[in-house]
């Protein structure tokens, strides 16, 4: 039964997971919520560990799904910026909840904290 709900698109949780089906998409969204308009190189630098191929693929899929908007400025050299659409911005409270849950988990399981952690982004305090 559960498999059918995932396949036919009637389960909202499964739909959300299928749209954000990688850790990279969630981290890209985090960066675009913190910095509303970013160039490709800025995203590649701020999402530690992401390959050029995975960033390109993720941005392409997120653009096709209406989560990210790609804006090309007619300049030489070409200037492209990415920003979240209104739909993408609607994930803000969900990502804040993930941030808060992760902090609580790490506080109660300090052995799970990685020593080579990403730079601390003050995501929870970004917006009121």
Per-residue pLDDT at 44 exceeds 90: yes
The least confident of 15-24, 41-50, 57-66 is 15-24
Burial 19-32 (b: 16+ CB within 10 A, else e): ebeeebbbbbbbbb
Longest dimension (CA), the chain: 54
Model confidence at 1, pLDDT cuts 50, 70, 90, reads very low
Per-residue pLDDT at 61 exceeds 70: yes
Phi then psi for residue 51, to 5 deg, are -85, 160
Instruction: Round to whole Å and give the CA distance between 102 and 128.
Output: 19
Report the CATH number at residue 32. Answer: 1.10.10.10
pLDDT at residue number 126: 58
Range of the domain at 31: 2-113+120-125
Task: Please answer whether residues 31 and 46 qualify as being in contact, where contact means their C-beta atoms are separated by less than 8 angstroms.
Answer: yes
Q: Tell me the chain's radius of gyration from C-alpha atoms.
A: 16
Q: What is the mean pLDDT of residues 56-77?
A: 94
Work out the number of other CB atoms within 10 angstroms of the CB of residue 106: 14
| Number of domains comprising the chain | 1
């Amino acid at each position: 039964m559960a498999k059918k709900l995932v396949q036919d698109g009637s389960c909202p949780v499964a739909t959300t997971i299928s749209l954000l089906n990688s850790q990279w998409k969630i981290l890209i969204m985090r960066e675009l919520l913190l910095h509303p308009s970013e160039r490709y190189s800025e995203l590649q630098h701020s999402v530690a560990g992401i390959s050029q191929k995975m960033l390109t693929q993720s941005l392409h899929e997120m653009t096709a799904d209406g989560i990210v908007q790609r804006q090309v400025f007619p300049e030489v050299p070409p200037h492209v910026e990415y920003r979240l659409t209104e739909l993408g911005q609607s994930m803000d409270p969900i990502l804040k909840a993930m941030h808060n849950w992760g902090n609580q988990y790490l506080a109660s399981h300090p052995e799970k904290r990685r020593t080579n952690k990403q730079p601390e982004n003050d995501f929870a305090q970004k917006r009121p």
